[in-house]
């Protein structure tokens, strides 16, 4: 015989559960109030009795940063003086001189790496390679890049003097600049490639980037584009609403793109496409890599879930968290994780579990064996956790030790600076190549600087040698080890010859950027890009494209 609970018992049970929840909530509030009281008491005692005067702003800000570091890297406090950083992240706008900068170890100061065309630094005559000596009379030698960046930024219309040491000149040069509002374009380049393929490089999801994307797609279609490549590689994301608008360009009205779920009711939202799309038929490839994150993963994942695009590249970063900003007393802002997002198939791409931080401060990653299977609109199998898995993963070549060190040491950057001093112009990016003569000059440039670097293989051999000696085999393999030690030393000529193709691409990319800007750099890089070549082949093969978007039996 079945036992049924009487209504009275059900009401009693519900009352007990409500009472338990209320008790737990009250206890939590009590503990929070107690700890805030402890913190307040400590600050007061330090202010009254500490041997020296304390700096309350600096001390409390550090305390806030330490507290937030126990949550996730996206929950960050921006005091009033740093609120411009948050504004730049969301709008892509800031006030400054309009140039990227980097610390140059050999020069022990910050150098300009790319003055943007039409911006204050460019208009004043500053060039890539100029080493900044002082700003408004204050020396910046040895100063961090962040500190120099803070000095370069300011209110629009304010002026500053920048003194630089330019390669090829003996005297220092001083330039007078006026800061302007700088708006970084969300789309760095778009154009027709390989006959009838529209290529779009989307750099960020800042304000109005969806409008820029719409304009790019429309213009490319007018120019004859029959398919598209949307490049989201190294795009760290941005505004959620812009991502949804971009998906809406290719997906019909009324489709759910993202669902967010958080602790409070206001964090639970469903975002649908609200407009008529501009293209639901043209084949699309979306390029991704390990730095494709957040809003970029929403676009890539939604187009994959709707079987609207083929994803090519390497697995994305895996950021499935949503942040909102709240004003804080004193004029600052708290950017805080308030929800997780779920794309059309129902999966969340979050890779790291910040609720379980290991003792050393590291977070655990969701193993592939524990991820769950979801289905796309057509029934294809996709998984949650660990980012977006591409439909095609071209086997990319690993970066050699030589290439890595040339980039880190800024050797290619410095050679490009000297190249520009000797050459007034170069061929267009689409046809420019590094001649054998220029490559030989680069080799001599490195030799004159006595360029060298550490070989990973030599380090590993040294470690192996120690292990062999500990295990008592030192004398037995002594001759072999010594033979390897003699061979595993930097032979610059051999390395430059063996990796000549890679080094030439590196040189050409930097040189083209100096003459033709970011647009020229992208045009050149497309010629050597493995993912791009794979995309061209796929978009020309309609049968294979459709097979990838169809569920496997």
pLDDT in tens, 105-124: 999 999 999 999 889 999 99
What pLDDT is attached to residue 473?
81
Domain with CATH 2.30.42.10 in the chain: 93-183
Q: Quick one: fold of 93-183?
A: Pdz3 Domain (2.30.42)
What pLDDT is attached to residue 224?
97
Gap between the Cα atoms of 241 and 243, Å rounded: 5
Residue 14's pLDDT band (cuts 50, 70, 90): low
Q: Which of 479, 485, 483, 491 is nearest to 458 (CA)?
A: 485
In Å, how far from its chain's centre is CA 553?
37
Over residues 195-202, the mean pLDDT reads: 97
Over residues 408-424, the mean pLDDT reads: 94
What pLDDT is attached to residue 24?
67
What pLDDT is attached to residue 8?
63
Percentage above 70 pLDDT, the chain? 92
Asked if residue 453 lies in contact with residue 402, where contact means CB atoms within 8 angstroms, the answer is yes
pLDDT in tens, 286-320: 999 999 999 999 999 999 999 999 999 999 999 99
Residue 368 in this model has a pLDDT that exceeds 80: no
> CA torsion sign, 99 to 163 to 415 to 396?
negative
Residues 6+ apart with CB under 8 A from 365: 351, 352, 353, 386
Residues 6+ apart with CB under 8 A from 500: 439
b/e sequence 251-280, b meaning 16+ C-beta within 10 Å: beeebbbbbbebeeeeeeeebebeeebeee
Residue 490's pLDDT band (cuts 50, 70, 90): low
Over residues 23-34, the mean pLDDT reads: 76
Answer with the residue of higher pLDDT: 76 or 398. Answer: 76
Highest mean pLDDT (candidates 60-64, 80-84, 529-533)? 529-533
What pLDDT is attached to residue 20?
61
Over residues 44-61, the mean pLDDT reads: 88
Over residues 133-160, the mean pLDDT reads: 93
- Angle between helix 411-422 and 500-526 (nearest 10): 70
What pLDDT is attached to residue 355?
74
Residues 6+ apart with CB under 8 A from 399: none
Answer with the residue of higher pLDDT: 14 or 355. Answer: 355
Strand ranges inside 166-250, DSSP E? 173-178, 180-183, 187-193, 197-202, 227-231
pLDDT in tens, 123-144: 999 999 999 999 999 999 999 9
Gap between the Cα atoms of 497 and 476, Å rounded: 35
Which stretch of DSSP H or E encloses residue 38? helix 7-49
What pLDDT is attached to residue 341?
95
Answer with the residue of higher pLDDT: 382 or 56. Answer: 382
Over residues 378-386, the mean pLDDT reads: 91
Gap between the Cα atoms of 220 and 24, Å rounded: 59
What pLDDT is attached to residue 463?
84
Over residues 2-7, the mean pLDDT reads: 55
Residue 1 in this model has a pLDDT that exceeds 50: no
> CA torsion sign, 342 to 347 to 352 to 358?
positive
Answer with the residue of higher pLDDT: 468 or 425. Answer: 425
What pLDDT is attached to residue 132?
97
187-323+337-393 CATH: 3.90.226.10
Over residues 473-501, the mean pLDDT reads: 82
- Angle between helix 240-248 and 295-305 (nearest 10): 30
Which stretch of DSSP H or E encloses residue 383? strand 381-383
What pLDDT is attached to residue 13?
61
pTM of the model: 0.84
**If you average pLDDT over every residue of the chain, what do you get?**
89
Residues with catalytic function: 294, 305, 319
Domain with CATH 3.90.226.10 in the chain: 187-323+337-393
């Amino acid at each position: 015989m079945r036992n049924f609970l009487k209504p009275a018992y059900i009401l009693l049970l519900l009352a007990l559960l409500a009472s338990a929840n209320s008790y737990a909530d009250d206890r939590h509030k009590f503990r929070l109030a107690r700890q805030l009281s402890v913190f307040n008491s400590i600050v007061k005692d330090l202010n009254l009795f500490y041997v020296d005067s304390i700096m309350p702003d600096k001390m409390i800000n550090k305390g806030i940063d330490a507290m937030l570091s126990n949550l996730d890297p996206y929950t960050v406090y921006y005091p009033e003086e740093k609120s411009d950083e948050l504004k730049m992240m969301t709008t892509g706008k800031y006030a400054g001189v309009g140039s990227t900068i980097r610390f140059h170890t050999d020069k022990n100061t910050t150098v300009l790496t790319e003055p943007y065309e039409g911006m204050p630094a460019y208009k004043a005559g500053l060039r890539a390679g100029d080493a900044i000596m002082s700003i408004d009379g204050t020396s910046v030698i040895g100063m961090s890049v962040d500190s120099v960046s803070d000095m370069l930024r300011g209110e629009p219309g304010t002026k500053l003097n920048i003194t630089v040491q330019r390669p090829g000149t003996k005297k220092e040069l001083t330039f007078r600049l006026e800061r302007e509002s700088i708006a970084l374009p969300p789309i760095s380049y778009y154009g027709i490639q390989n006959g009838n393929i529209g290529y779009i490089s989307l750099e960020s999801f800042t304000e109005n980037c969806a409008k820029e994307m719409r304009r790019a797609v429309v213009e490319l279609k007018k120019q004859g584009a029959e398919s598209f490549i949307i490049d989201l590689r190294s795009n760290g994301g941005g505004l959620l609403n812009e991502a949804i608008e971009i998906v809406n360009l290719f997906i019909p009205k009324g489709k759910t793109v993202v669902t967010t779920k958080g602790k409070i009711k206001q964090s639970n939202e469903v975002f649908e496409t609200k407009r008529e799309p501009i293209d639901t038929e043209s084949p699309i490839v979306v390029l991704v890599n390990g730095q494709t994150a957040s809003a970029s993963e929403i676009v890539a994942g939604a187009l994959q879930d709707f079987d609207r695009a083929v994803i090519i590249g390497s697995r994305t970063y895996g950021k499935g968290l949503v942040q909102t900003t709240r004003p804080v007393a004193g004029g600052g802002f708290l950017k805080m994780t308030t929800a997780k997002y779920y794309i059309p198939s129902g999966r969340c791409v979050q890779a790291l579990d910040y609720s379980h931080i290991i003792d050393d401060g590291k977070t655990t990653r969701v193993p592939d064996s524990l991820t769950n299977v979801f289905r796309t609109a057509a029934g294809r199998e996709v998984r949650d956790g660990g980012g977006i898995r591409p439909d095609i993963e071209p086997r990319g070549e690993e970066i050699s030790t030589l290439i890595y060190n040339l980039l880190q040491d800024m050797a290619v950057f410095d050679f490009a600076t000297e190249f520009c001093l000797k050459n007034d112009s170069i061929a267009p990016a689409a046809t420019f190549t590094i001649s054998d003569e220029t490559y030989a000059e680069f080799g001599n440039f490195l030799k004159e600087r006595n360029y060298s670097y550490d070989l990973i293989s030599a380090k590993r051999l040294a470690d192996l040698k120690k292990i062999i000696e500990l295990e008592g085999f030192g004398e037995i393999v002594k001759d072999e080890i010594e033979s390897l030690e003699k061979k595993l030393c930097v032979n610059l000529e051999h390395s430059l010859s063996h990796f000549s193709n890679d080094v030439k691409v590196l040189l050409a990319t930097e040189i083209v950027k100096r003459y033709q800007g970011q647009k020229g750099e992208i045009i050149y890089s497309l010629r050597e890009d493995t993912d791009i070549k794979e995309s061209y082949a796929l978009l020309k093969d309609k049968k294979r494209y459709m097979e990838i978007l169809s569920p496997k039996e």
